[in-house]
Amino acid sequence: MKITMIGTGYVGLVTGTCFAEFGHHVTCVDKDEEKIKTLLEGQIPIYEPGLDTLVLKNTREKRLTFTTALADAVAVADAVFMAVGTPSSRRGDGYADLTYIFEAAREIAPHLQGYTVIVDKSTVPVGTARQVARIIREVNPAADFDVASNPEFLREGAAIADFMHPDRVVIGLESLQAENILREIYKPLYLQETPIVKTDIETAELTKYAANAFLAIKISFINEIALLCDSLGADVVSLAKGIGMDGRIGKKFLHPGPGYGGSCFPKDTLAMMRIAQEHGQNLRIVEAAVEVNAAQKAKMVKKIRDMLDGSEAGKTIAFLGLTFKPETDDMRDAPAITIIPALLEKGARIKAHDPQGMEEARKYLPQGIEYAQDAYETCKDADAVVLMTEWNQYRALDLDRLMEEMQGRIFIDLRNVYEPQKMKEKGFIYAGVGRS
């Protein structure tokens, strides 16, 4: 199959590369000349484990190419995937900004030749694919095409594995011709019997939002339960095991922490709430999850303050990890962006380290943070250490060395990486989330 991917952001780049790895011929198009140049030179603008090797391999084998020339790429394609950004609108009302999607539709339309499926990969409000179809028809009434929705469920940091071994593939479409093309594209997954869930277009669009909203709810639920565990002296990790082994609940996404972040859950929960409101409904459980998530970050600030005897002023706090999760350099909506400035404002001295995210972090965090080379340098003279992101590098710290470097003994583990009892035995004043 000949596939053209519009947009070389996170989703476009990973999806395009993995399709090429499946054996298809993929052209990734982007308007950003600098980015295309970088990609052609074999450099990857984002940090995603395994992606560089796969890009290099498929570029060498001539199944993957990058260009700014949209017209030629669209003309030869069996399927054009749209993977452009849908950020929250600048109005701050939670709606997804569809400017890039509609712009892409207008640009694709005149160049379509022969039958083509236009596939929405971006997370878009229900009805967007139909609007895309309307735009294409307006611009090029003679075009022979169908639209489809094929939402992605990739996690940053694990995107290649998620793509190659998905739990399911959702395709929303209305024509057999489009279905045949999409089934052909995903054919390599048949070997591992990946289920393909075929729906109408609107259902596929909504499925994506519902999946992310459900996961966000699950995290907010366990975060609230963790706070209750803190109050009652119960242990949330054992509790999560106790409920998670029930197949109806499932053990994944029951890890409490400083609140979910990233480019998806915060944006998609808000967008879904707005979609529902437009249709006269309130998604009260989603609204609660969003509120709980904001409160969780504030509660983490309080937890740190309480551990420092009620005041962070003049104290040195060492942050291990800044990104919203490990194995990414992404700082979008990372809890660190809320928690660190709140402490800095009240006069704390902040030192920080992140294995991949420090360059990005500088763009999101205020001046005045001291960035260190490694975990131990970060903890030097610290009154308290806050383990913010569960990078592997922080999972087996040399605790004796850490304690030697520190001035105090407080260890606040916002990801519950360490065992409370062992930390206490080592001499730390330890707090996890829901592990009292």
81 is an interface residue for ligand UGA by CB under 6 A: no
Residue choice 73, 147, 181, 254 for contact with ligand UGA (CB under 6 A) = 254
> Measured between alpha carbons, how far is 157 from 246 in angstroms, rounded to an integer?
27
> Measured between alpha carbons, how far is 265 from 334 in angstroms, rounded to an integer?
11
- Residues 107/10, Cβ–Cβ less than 8 Å: no
431 is an interface residue for ligand UGA by CB under 6 A: no
Instruction: Find residue 116's DSSP bridge partners.
Output: 145
Nearer to ligand UGA, 212 or 338 (CB): 212
Nearer to ligand UGA, 261 or 408 (CB): 261
Q: How far is the CB of 255 from ligand UGA (least distance, A)?
A: 3
Stretch that binds ligand UGA, among 83-91, 262-270, 379-387, 405-413 (CB under 6 A): 262-270
266 is an interface residue for ligand UGA by CB under 6 A: no
Tell me whether residue 229 is one of the annotated catalytic residues.
Answer: no
Nearer to ligand UGA, 152 or 312 (CB): 152
Q: How far is the CB of 245 from ligand UGA (least distance, A)?
A: 15
Q: Hey, which residues between 321 and 380 contact ligand UGA (CB under 6 A)? A: 324-325
Q: How far is the CB of 319 from ligand UGA (least distance, A)?
A: 15
Q: How far is the CB of 377 from ligand UGA (least distance, A)?
A: 25
- Residues 2/142, Cβ–Cβ less than 8 Å: no
Q: Quick one: which H or E segment has residue 230?
A: helix 201-232
Nearer to ligand UGA, 47 or 145 (CB): 47
SS3 352: strand
Nearer to ligand UGA, 105 or 300 (CB): 300
Active-site residue, from 18, 28, 229, 264: 264
Sheet holding 145-149, edge to edge: 64-67, 25-29, 2-6, 79-82, 116-120, 145-149, 169-172, 196-199
- Residues 350/319, Cβ–Cβ less than 8 Å: yes
Q: How far is the CB of 211 from ligand UGA (least distance, A)?
A: 6
Token couple for 97: 């900004």
Closest CA to 265 of 329, 202, 322, 217: 217
Q: Site size for ligand UGA, by CB under 6 A?
A: 20
Residue choice 22, 153, 209, 319 for contact with ligand UGA (CB under 6 A) = 153
Q: At what angle do helices 99-108 and 128-139 cross, to 10 degrees?
A: 40
| Residues contacting 238, CB < 8 A, separation 6+ | none
Token couple for 165: 């071994």
Q: Are strands 196-199 and 429-431 parallel, antiparallel or unpaired?
A: unpaired
Q: Hey, which residues between 114 and 143 contact ligand UGA (CB under 6 A)? A: 123
Instruction: Find residue 319's DSSP bridge partners.
Output: 352, 386
- Residues 336/319, Cβ–Cβ less than 8 Å: yes
Residue choice 264, 289, 331, 388 for contact with ligand UGA (CB under 6 A) = 264
Nearer to ligand UGA, 126 or 154 (CB): 154
Give the position of tokens 């011929």.
25
Nearer to ligand UGA, 12 or 261 (CB): 261
418 is an interface residue for ligand UGA by CB under 6 A: no
Residues assigned a catalytic role? 264
Task: List residues binding ligand UGA (CB under 6 A).
Answer: 123, 152-156, 212, 215, 219, 253-255, 257, 260-262, 264-265, 324-325
